[in-house]
């Protein structure tokens, strides 16, 4: 925790990183809690990642977030990776410890689950089948979050079969791989549908998925936040589903990182939402 008299520095390291909303989020919390500190953009090319990370303690940083393309590469540079981050296979948060060593964590799974709880407080992971579309990096955090929240049956479908198959093998019997051609039928009995692919993102075509088999009480989430309402979420909303976009995941993954550096667990307030919405 930062001592009151100290100036605490943190930031987001990526390449490119100029588009990141993280400075708006963390700067808002620094001001809200009247802390002395700053959260800055850290544009670092992949070949300089090792030097940049090892410089954090020297420069007086409390830590940093990591974004594309550093989340996996950083795992072999930091001094320790916590077990949750190891299961997810990536780190999105680095904490500089008192002795100057670097600890890697991953808060994306927490962020995802918390975004569901914020939008649908009565949602329970163990209430029924969760169908996850996509088996990329973000899907790993979503799967670990769901498993650790008590999910009992997760259907995982991905355009490239091998990735879904291998991920199901890795995460155990809770996760069942479903061939891509059977994705529409994989919505039957689901209480949660989540899109973790990039389909529906700004500049990408909509996700090719028919919702007719999805029970109307199912929660529908899309971890994309540009746009806030993807074609999937628009279609689900018209069918009457409760829908959750990816902004809640982005905001909630930032909370435990901020707490680790600044010593305060921040909240998602209407003022924060207004500040972030103004960036779109």
| Structural contact between residues 266 and 29, judged by C-beta atoms closer than 8 angstroms | yes
Q: How far apart are CA 143 and CA 89, in angstroms?
A: 12
Catalytic option among 71, 105, 155, 241: 71
Which of the stretches 14-22, 132-140, 234-242, 267-275 binds ligand NAP when contact is defined by CB under 6 A?
Answer: 132-140
CA dihedral sign of residues 280, 14, 204, 237: negative
Q: Which of 153, 176, 198, 242 binds ligand NAP (CB under 6 A)?
A: 198
Contacts of ligand NAP in 91-130 (CB under 6 A): 108
CB atoms within 10 A of CB 225: 20
Q: Which residue has the CB atom at the shortest distance from ligand NAP?
A: 136
Selection from 187, 182, 222 nearest residue 206 by Cα: 222
- 86 lines the binding site for ligand NAP (CB under 6 A): no
8 Å CB contact between 75 and 81:
yes
- Rounded to whole angstroms, how far apart are CA atoms 247 and 257? 16
Among residues 45, 51, 160, 269, which is the contact residue for ligand NAP, using CB under 6 A? 160
Which phi and psi angles does 4 have, rounded to 5°?
Answer: -60, -35
Near ligand NAP by CB under 6 A: residue from 8, 107, 131, 158: 158
Please report whether residue 227 would count as binding ligand NAP according to CB under 6 A.
Answer: no
Distance of CA 213 to the CA centre of its chain: 27
- Sites for ligand NAP among residues 239-278 (CB under 6 A): 246, 249-250, 253
How many residues of this chain bind ligand NAP (CB under 6 A)?
23
Closest CB to ligand NAP among residues 37, 134: 134
| Residue 136 sits in the site that holds ligand NAP (CB under 6 A) | yes
3-state DSSP call for residue 262? helix
Residue 167, interface with ligand NAP (CB under 6 A)?
no
Distance in Å, CB of 195 to ligand NAP, minimum: 8
Closest by CA position to 194, among listed 256, 119, 258? 119
Check if 163 is active-site. no
Contact 211, 150 (CB under 8 A): no
The verdict on 199 binding ligand NAP (CB under 6 A) reads: yes
Residues forming the site for ligand NAP (CB under 6 A): 108, 134-139, 158-160, 163, 196-199, 201, 223-225, 246, 249-250, 253
List residues with catalytic annotation. Answer: 71
């Amino acid at each position: 925790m930062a001592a009151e008299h100290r100036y605490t520095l943190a930031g987001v390291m990526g390449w490119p990183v100029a588009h990141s909303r993280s400075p708006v989020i963390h700067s808002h919390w620094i001001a809200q809690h009247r802390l002395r500190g700053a959260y800055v953009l850290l544009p670092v090319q992949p070949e300089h990642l090792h030097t940049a990370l090892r410089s954090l303690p020297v420069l007086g940083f409390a830590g940093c977030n990591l974004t594309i393309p550093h989340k996996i590469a950083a795992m072999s540079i930091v001094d320790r990776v916590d077990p949750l981050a190891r299961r997810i296979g990536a780190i999105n948060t680095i904490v500089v410890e008192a002795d100057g060593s670097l600890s890697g964590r991953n808060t994306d799974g927490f962020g995802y689950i918390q975004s569901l709880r914020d939008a649908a407080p009565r949602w329970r992971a163990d209430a029924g089948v969760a169908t996850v579309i996509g088996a990329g990096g973000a899907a790993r955090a979503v799967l670990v979050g769901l498993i650790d929240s008590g999910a009992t049956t997760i259907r995982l479908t991905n355009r490239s079969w091998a990735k879904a198959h291998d991920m199901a093998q890795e995460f155990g019997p809770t996760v069942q791989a479903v061939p891509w051609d059977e994705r529409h039928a994989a919505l039957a009995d689901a209480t949660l549908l989540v899109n973790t692919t990039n389909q529906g993102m700004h500049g990408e075509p909509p996700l090719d998925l028919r919702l007719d088999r999805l029970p109307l009480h199912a929660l529908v989430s899309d971890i994309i936040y540009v746009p806030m309402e993807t074609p999937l979420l628009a279609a689900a909303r018209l069918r009457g589903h409760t829908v959750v976009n990816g902004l809640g995941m982005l905001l909630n993954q930032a909370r435990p990182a901020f707490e680790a550096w600044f010593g305060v667990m921040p909240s998602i307030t209407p003022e924060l939402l207004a500040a972030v919405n103004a960036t779109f």
